[in-house]
């Protein structure tokens, strides 16, 4: 008698995986929750060797929906967006420079640890608690922002920063629900402070 087993490429296994993602999406969509939180504090800009460098503390909090997704194997990509803008009379502000730093956050159930991957460098860091992983992501330290020569003397510049969840990085079935609900975001407005050349 021939025995068959479900492999990752077999139809029953793919159906099971698809059904699992669909059920997870439904559970997460209809679970009561609120948007996550991202508060930016202690912002600073320093001129070091002709380059402005930015530092800040970003307090990140994931809501129940995001934590449930993370603990069910869905990696989350958190992004820090930083811009330098120049005020102009009678016109909208001009974006002079922009920087985006992305971090992939994963939960490993076997080791009960959280893995943070800095996507720009590929560096990986492991943490025992979610709080420590989020604190690492939120510690913006000495990040090169803009060359001093790109700023004009006598003009007024601002730096602004915000943190958010990269919805485009979510698996496709979940991404659809993420666009429909605020529980798939981090509530954080742009935080801005002056940059003086």
pLDDT of residue 134: 96
pLDDT of residue 157: 93
What's the rounded Cα separation, in Å, for the pair 19 and 24?
9
pLDDT of residue 66: 92
Q: Encode 22-32: b = buried (16+ Cβ within 10 Å), e = exposed.
A: eebbeebbeee
In sequence order, which residues have a C-beta less than 8 Å from that of residue 134 and are 6 or more positions away?
60, 61, 62, 105
Angle between helix 64-71 and helix 11-30 axes, rounded to 10 deg:
160
pLDDT of residue 130: 97
Tens digit of pLDDT for each residue in 120-136?
999 999 999 999 999 99
pLDDT band (50, 70, 90) for residue 164: very high
- pLDDT above 60: residue 144: yes
pLDDT of residue 48: 93
Listing DSSP states for 169-189 in one string gives GS-HHHHHHHHH-GGGSEE--
What's the rounded Cα separation, in Å, for the pair 166 and 68?
17
pLDDT of residue 172: 85
Report, in angstroms and rounded to the nearest whole number, the Rg of the chain calculated over CA atoms.
Answer: 21
In sequence order, which residues have a C-beta less than 8 Å from that of residue 21 and are 6 or more positions away?
171, 173, 174
pLDDT of residue 153: 85
- pLDDT above 60: residue 12: no
Report which listed range, 6-10, 137-141, 174-178, 182-186, is most confident: 137-141
Residue 194 or 177, more confident: 194
pLDDT of residue 176: 80
3-state secondary structure of 62: coil
Tens digit of pLDDT for each residue in 77-101?
999 999 999 988 888 888 999 999 9
Residue 55 or 154, more confident: 55
Contact 158, 192 (CB under 8 A): yes
């Amino acid at each position: 008698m021939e025995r068959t087993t479900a492999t990752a490429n077999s139809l029953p296994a793919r159906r099971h995986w698809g059904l699992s993602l669909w059920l997870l999406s439904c559970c997460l969509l209809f679970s009561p929750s609120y948007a996550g939180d991202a508060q930016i504090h202690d912002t600073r800009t320093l001129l070091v060797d002709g380059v402005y460098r930015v530092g800040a503390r970003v307090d990140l909090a994931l809501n129940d929906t995001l934590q449930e997704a993370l603990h069910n194997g869905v990696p989350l990509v958190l992004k820090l967006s930083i811009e330098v803008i120049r005020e102009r009379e009678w016109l909208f502000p001009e974006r002079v420079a922009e920087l985006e730093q992305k971090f992939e956050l994963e939960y490993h159930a076997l080791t009960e640890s959280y893995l943070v991957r800095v996507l720009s460098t590929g560096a990986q860091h492991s943490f025992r608690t979610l709080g420590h992983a989020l604190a690492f992501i939120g510690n913006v330290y000495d990040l090169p922002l803009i060359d001093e020569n790109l700023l004009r003397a006598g003009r007024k510049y601002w730096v602004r920063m915000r943190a958010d969840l990269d919805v485009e990085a979510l698996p496709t079935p979940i991404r659809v629900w993420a666009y429909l609900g605020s529980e798939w975001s981090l509530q954080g407005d742009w935080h801005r402070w002056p940059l003086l050349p």
